[in-house]
Amino acid sequence: MKRVYNFSAGPAVLPEEVLREAANEMLDYKGCGMSVMEMSHRSKAFAEIIETAEQDLRDLMGIPDNYKVLFLQGGASQQFAMIPMNLMKNKVADYIVTGQWAKKAAAEASKYGKVNKIASSEDKTFSYIPDCSDLPVDEDADYVYICENNTIYGTKFKELPNTKGKTLVADVSSCFLSEPVDVTKYGLIYGGVQKNVGPAGVVIAIIREDLITEDVLPGTPTMLTYKTHADAGSLYNTPPAYGIYICGKVFKWLKKMGGLEVMKERNEKKAKLLYDYLDQSKLFKGTVEKKDRSLMNVPFVTGSDELDAKFVKEAKEAGLENLKDAKSIALADGSVPVGKYTRQALVNAGILDAVDDVSTIPTDVVSQALGGVEINECGNVSAVKTQVAEGSNEVGTVYYSDTYGLEDKLDILQVISYDLTGNVIYPIAQVKNDEADELEQKAALDLVNFVKSDAAKAIFDSYYFDTNVED
């Protein structure tokens, strides 16, 4: 067996000891004659699994008794909606935007109330954590939201923001169980487990009991209220049982290793090796201000697209996988023409399976076909362009003509041939209108003839339109 060095942001590496234990129990869990995948979540065996997992997590994090531990589904992205549905009593919330996922969370919350972006590092492509010592916290804000560790951009809050008495809500997906944490400083702390804790499919929410109420926004589904899951001990519906089982084994492994203090020491040593090398390197450079560097995500570049590609290729040959795959792609959904053309190109390239209507291919299917890359689904081509130009996403697909005027902000990596996309044609024709007089008909014909002229073609060409098409 050959194991690679897997640097994927998630699903990420699991301890081999845990994987081997799970393999040994795959067909027969503790003599019950079945796999955990097969057993009822109402069974005594699974009750022991989830109760033990919760207690081990409480031990690791020092979770006080007045906090509930919820094992949920839907990942962090579902929490983007679940949090305002449950906590936005005044329909006002403050968000600190330090990366792609905080930005997406703020956008989702804005569907339910007023969102104030009280601090941001978007002006410098999220390469730092803004000063949060004296924030303009809204008096009516129900909570202040942060993404504590930013996966894509490699920044980390070293000090929590001064919320001026408001409840702090934190997405800790990328730093979950990487170091000790004082849970009492948060009203709600949550994380998708696939980055540090277990397989994809589980999100753990740790929430103070006074925030768990029946007073939620009107129309909130039963499944999306924290009280539903708290009252049922995370067993209101069939939970992601196997994922919880693996998380439980990782919790025991962490305790066996010495707990979160030891994990912090190990993570600091590993990160120091990388950062020390980057700081002395004449080829590579880090992209994050030193004071805000994450222990878990270390982005770096050469400054040359060619050298970056060469490094990734040679790293892969050396057994280092997914070094570049933590970045995200801006992509229009299938209902948008450019999203449809992109999907058609991926089908024709053999990356996606052929279907009758490519516009129906969901974004998550595209993500899976591209190796699990994180995709920022956009509503139109302008949104895609903006996300890439502002640095929120590494790459995106737009019409070539839409890159005009952004040459200083965008690099054209590839112009896709019509063989892959199909023709993207803007037709022109003179409409037959019996009510138009002779002068109007002539004016229309003059316009058609001008558009087809060399002079017009030169204008179109200058704006990156292709005029080499047949009538």
Catalytic residues: 101, 171, 195
Contact 169, 144 (CB under 8 A): yes
DSSP β-bridge partners for residue 72: 203
State both tokens at 446.
Answer: 């003059």
| Residues with Cβ within 8 Å of residue 79, at least 6 apart in sequence | 72, 105, 171, 190, 203, 205
State both tokens at 195.
Answer: 């980055």
Contact 370, 397 (CB under 8 A): no
Query: What is the secondary structure of 245-271 as a DSSP string?
Result: HHHHHHHHHHHHHT-HHHHHHHHHHHH
Q: Which helix (H) or strand (E) holds 207?
A: strand 203-208
Residue 326 has phi, psi (to 5 degrees) of: -80, -10
| Residues with Cβ within 8 Å of residue 130, at least 6 apart in sequence | 96, 98, 119, 120, 121
Contact 142, 89 (CB under 8 A): yes
C-alpha 126/C-alpha 153 separation (Å) is 6
C-alpha 90/C-alpha 244 separation (Å) is 34
Amino acid at 224: L
